[in-house]
Amino acid sequence: MKLYGALSSPFVARCWLAVTAKGGSVDLVEYPDGITSAGYRALNPMSKIPVLVDGDVVIPESAVICEYLDAVLPGPPLLPGAAAARARVRLLCRIADLYLFPSAIDLLVAPVGGDAAVIEPAMASTVAALGHLEHFLDDIGFAYGTSITLADCTLHGGVALALMVLGNHGMKNRFDGRPKLAAWWGAIRQDPVLKPALERIKEVVVAYERQRGFAAPGAQADSR
Over the window 127 to 146, marking each residue x when it contacts ligand GSH by CB under 6 A and - when it does not, the resulting string is --------------------
Task: Give residues with Cβ within 8 angstroms of 166, minimum separation 6.
Answer: 107, 123, 126, 127, 174
Residues in Cβ contact with 141 at an 8 Å cutoff, skipping those fewer than 6 apart: 183, 184, 187, 188
Burial of 147 (0-12, 13-18, 19+ CB in 10 A): middle
CB of residue 44 vs ligand GSH: minimum separation in angstroms?
9
27-29 and 57-60 strand pairing:
unpaired
Nearer residue to ligand GSH within complex by CB, 11 or 99 = 11
Q: Which window, 58-66, 69-77, 187-195, 198-206, contacts ligand GSH (CB under 6 A)?
A: 58-66
Pick between residue 67 and residue 178 the one whose CB is nearest to ligand GSH.
67
SS (H, E, C) 58-93: EEECHHHHHHHHHHHCCCCCCCCCCHHHHHHHHHHH
Min dist. Cβ of residue 30 to ligand GSH (A): 11
Stretch that binds ligand GSH, among 55-63, 67-75, 113-121, 216-224 (CB under 6 A): 55-63
Q: Of residues 20-49, which lie at the interface with ligand GSH (CB under 6 A)?
A: 47-49
60 vs 178, which CB is nearer to ligand GSH? 60
* Closer CB to ligand GSH, 47 or 125, in the complex: 47
Q: Is 40 helix (H, G, I), strand (E, B) or coil?
A: helix
Q: Is 61 in the site for ligand GSH (CB under 6 A)?
A: yes
**Count of other CB atoms within 10 angstroms of residue 9:** 20
DSSP state of 17: H
62 binds ligand GSH (CB under 6 A): yes
Q: Which stretch binds ligand GSH (CB under 6 A): 19-27, 59-67, 167-175, 196-204?
A: 59-67
DSSP for 167-183, written as a single string: HHTT---TTTT-HHHHH
Contact set with ligand GSH (CB under 6 A): 9, 11, 47-50, 61-63
